[in-house]
Chain A
C-alpha cells in the first residue's frame, strides 16, 4: 500500500464528492450478430458442453468476444485473432461437424461470422474514443481496461489525438494519482466497486456495447450504517448516434470479465500437469503447494505453508520496494518476483571467485569422483547402479537420483549415507570424508554465489523503470553477464484454494499455460 499525502487525500475526497458517471453505448452490426449467435450456440450445445472439442471451440470464440468487448482494437488485430488461430478453429469445426453433426450448422454460422470479423479493420470503441477526443481534452486522462497490454499502446499511438491517454489497469486506481477523466471500456461489473465508489477522477465515462448492461449493487458494507455512503448515480445514458444499428433491442449478453479465469478447471489443469511431471519425477520428494495463476497465462506452484515465502514488489512513495511475504498471505493483484532462469554458468564463475585460489583444486577433486561415478553408471546402467548403491546402504538411490548425482549441476547427494555408497561403488571409500568436505565447500560457495546473483538481480529490479508495470503482463529483469539469470515480476491473478501435491523440484518454476510457451 503506497503512502498518500494530505494533498492527495484532499484530492481523492474531492473526486468522491463531485464524481459523475457517464455511460456511452456503441454498436456494431456484425460483431453484435456474432455475440448473439455465439450465445445461441452455447445454449444449443449446453448438454454436451463438457466435450473437449466443443469446450475449446467455445472457449476461443468467447475469448475473442471478450477481447473485442474490452479493448479498442481493430476486429482483425493479429494479437487477438491470428491466421493460425483461424486455422485451429477450422480444425475444431471439422471435428464438430464429424462428431456432433447436429451442432454443425450453428458452429459454422458463428465461425463464418468470426472469419468476416477477422477481416475488418474497424472497431466502434476506437471510433468512439477518437470522436470523444475531438470534444474533450484527454490530457491527464486515463483509459481503464480490464486487460491492458503493451501492444495496445502501440495501436493507440497511431492516433495523435489519443496521445494524452494513459492506459491503466484497475490496481493503479488504488493509489493517490487522480485524473481529469477516466474512460472505462466495458460494463461496471468487470471492475471492482472501488473504481466507482472511491473514484480517482471527477468524471468517469463508461464506454460499452449496448448489449452489455451495467449492474450497480449500491449496497452499504455496514448493515446499520448511521450515515450511508452516498452512492454515485450514473448520468443519463448517452447513445452514440447511429450509423450503428441495434442488434436486437431485447437481447442482452452477460460477458463475464473473469470468465477466462473462472472457466479453467484448476484441478484438471493441475492434475494433468502433475501427472506429466510425475512421469519424469515419480520418485522424488513431493510437497503440498498452491496453484498460482499469473498475468499472461503463466502459472507457478508455491509451497502451501506459512513458513515459505515469496518476494513481492510494491511501491512506497512511488518508489519500488521488495519484501518477503508468506505464501499464505499472497493475494491477487500483488506483484511477485520469480526466478525465470537460473544463474547457470555465471553461478560457477561467481562461485570460483569466492573460492579464490582453492577453486582449481576443489573443482578437480570434484571432477575426479564424478567421472569415476559416471563411468560406473554407464557400465552398469542406471537401474543396476541404483540397486548396487542400495546394497551399499544408500537410502535414496533410484534411477532419477542416480541421474541427478551424475550431473555436473548436482554437487553431491544431500545425505552422507548416499554419498558413502557412491564412494564404495567407485572404490574410493577411504577418501569419503575428503570428497564430502570438498563437495560441501563447493556447495557453500555456490549457495553464496546464488545469493550474490539474487542480490544483483534485485538491485536491477529496483533500478529499472517500473512505471509500466501496471500495464504490462510481466517485466523481465536480466543481468548483463552471460548466463546471469533472470527474474520476472508477475501480477497474481488467481490463487487456488485447494492444495496440490507436486514434486519439490517444481516449486517456484514458472510455466506457460497459454498458447506459446516460454518458461518451464
Chain B
C-alpha cells in the first residue's frame, strides 16, 4: 500500500491569514484514504466505502485528490524530457511535489474520468478552488497550489481543457451526463441526496458515500440502511484485506467492502 510514501506528509500545509498551518490529521487521513483506495481496485469486483463524519468539509474533495494523485502516479513515465511546460502550468511545483515528475502536458490536456463528486457545488468549489495548500520542504521552499490543480474538476476549468474529475449539483432534475457516457472510476456521493437519487446510474463505478452526522435527517438513515443491506446481502468475504488501512481517526465511522460486478 502506498501512503504518500515518497513525501513527508508533515510538510503539508494550508493557507491562513498569517501564513501557513499544518494540515489537520483528519485532512491527511482523507487524502491518504483516497490514495489507498486505488490499491483495492479490481476488474470483477467493485468497492463500496461509506463514511459518517462530524462535518462533511473536505472529505470528498481530499479523497478525490488522493485518488487522482495515486492514479496519476501510475501514469508516470520516468526519464521524460526536462522541459515540459512546467513553468506555464499553475500550481506546477505543487503538482510535482504531490504526484512527482508527471508528464505535465499530458496531465493537463488528457481527459480521464477518475471520479465524479455529487454534492453542494458552492461548498465544493470553495474547497477545491478557494483554499490554498502547500508542500513546504525542510529548506522552506513553498510549493503552493489548489486542490483543483490536482483533481482538475471540469466545472471549474475552461471549455476544452483536459479534466480528471467532475462536480455535479444534486439539485439537477435528471442524473448528470458524462461525456461519451463513460463510466467514472469512482463516484463520490457527498451527502445522501445524490446517492438516493442517482446511485443506480453508476452501478459499474466504485462508490464512496460521505454522510455528515449533523444532517441526520431521514435521507441520512435511508442511505446508511441501503449500504447496510448491500453489506449484508452482497458483500464478498474479503474484509481482512482492508486491515492495512490507516487507523480511522476519532469521530469517523467507516465501512468498506466489495461486491461482485
Contacts and interface: CB of A to CB of B under 8 A. Distances in A.
A226 B21 contact: no
Contact of A13 (B50, B217, B221, B249): B249
A174 B228 contact: no
A229 interface: yes
Contact of B252 (A4, A5, A229, A317): A229
Contact of A221 (B26, B126, B247, B253): B253
Interface string B213-240: 1111110110010011001100100010
Interface residues of B, number: 53
Interface string A211-242: 00000000011111111111000000000000
B54 A226 contact: no
A477 B74 CA distance: 58
Contacts of A13: 24-26, 54-55, 249-251
Contacts of B255: 222-226
Given A9-B27, A226-B239, A16 B120 contact: no
A14 B24 CA distance: 9
Contacts of A227: 247-248, 252-254
Interface string B21-32: 101111100000
A12 B55 contact: yes
Interface string A6-20: 111110111111000
B245 A221 contact: no
B54 A12 contact: yes
Contacts of B180: none
Contacts of B227: 222
A192 interface: yes
Contact of A220 (B191, B212, B253): B253
Given A222-B224, A224-B231, A9 B58 contact: yes
A221 B52 contact: yes
A229 B253 contact: yes
A1 interface: yes
Contacts of B245: 226
B255 to A, nearest CB: 4
A198 interface: yes
Given A9-B26, A10-B24, A17-B249, A4 B57 contact: yes
Interface in B107-135: 120, 122-123, 126-127, 131
Contacts of B14: 6-7
Nearest to A323: B171
B235 A224 contact: yes
Contacts of A220: 253
A224 B213 contact: no
B257 interface: yes
A193 interface: yes
Nearest to A12: B55
B54 A16 contact: yes
A194 B54 contact: yes
A176 interface: yes
A199 B191 CA distance: 19
A6 B24 contact: yes
A505 interface: no
A197 interface: yes
B211 interface: yes
A468 B151 CA distance: 39
B54 A197 contact: yes
Contacts of A7: 14, 16, 21
A386 B257 CA distance: 71
A8 B24 CA distance: 10
A3 B254 contact: no
Q: How large is the interface on A (under 10, 10 to 19, 20 to 34, 35 or more residues)?
A: 35 or more
Contacts of A197: 54, 213, 251
Given A4-B57, A6-B58, A223-B228, A174 B215 contact: yes
B254 A9 contact: no
B213 A198 contact: yes
Contacts of A224: 228, 231-232, 235, 239, 255, 257
A476 to B, nearest CB: 27
Given A1-B120, A10-B27, A16 B214 contact: no
B85 interface: no
Contacts of A6: 14, 23-24, 27, 57-58, 127, 131
B183 to A, nearest CB: 25
B214 A194 contact: yes
B232 A229 contact: no
Most buried by A among B14, B24, B57, B127: B57
Nearest to B256: A226
A273 interface: no
Most buried by B among A15, A197, A199, A222: A222
Interface in A377-421: none
Contacts of B257: 224
B230 to A, nearest CB: 10
B50 A222 contact: yes
A173 interface: yes
A316 interface: yes
Interface string B52-83: 11111110000000000000000000000000
Contacts of B27: 6, 9-10
Contact of A316 (B122, B224, B256): B122
Interface in A182-223: 192-194, 197-199, 220-223
Given A7-B16, A174-B215, A192-B216, A228 B55 contact: no
Interface in A300-331: 316-317, 331
Given A1-B123, A13-B24, A17-B251, A193 B231 contact: no
A228 B250 CA distance: 9
Contacts of A331: 217-218
Nearest to A8: B57
B242 interface: yes
Contacts of A16: 54, 250-251
Contacts of B123: 1, 3-4
Most buried by A among B24, B58, B220, B256: B24
A331 B191 CA distance: 15
Nearest to B13: A6
Nearest to B59: A9
A262 B186 CA distance: 42
18 contacts: A3-B57, A3-B123, A5-B57, A6-B23, A6-B24, A9-B24, A12-B54, A13-B24, A13-B55, A194-B214, A221-B52, A221-B221, A222-B228, A226-B245, A226-B248, A226-B256, A227-B248, A332-B217
Interface of A: 1, 3-10, 12-17, 173-174, 176, 192-194, 197-199, 220-230, 316-317, 331-332
Given A1-B191, A174-B214, A226-B245, 16 more contacts: A4-B58, A5-B131, A9-B57, A10-B24, A12-B57, A14-B24, A17-B251, A193-B213, A198-B251, A221-B213, A221-B253, A222-B231, A224-B232, A225-B254, A227-B254, A229-B52
* Closest 4 pairs between A and B when the two form their complex, measured CB to CB: A16-B251, A198-B54, A10-B24, A227-B248
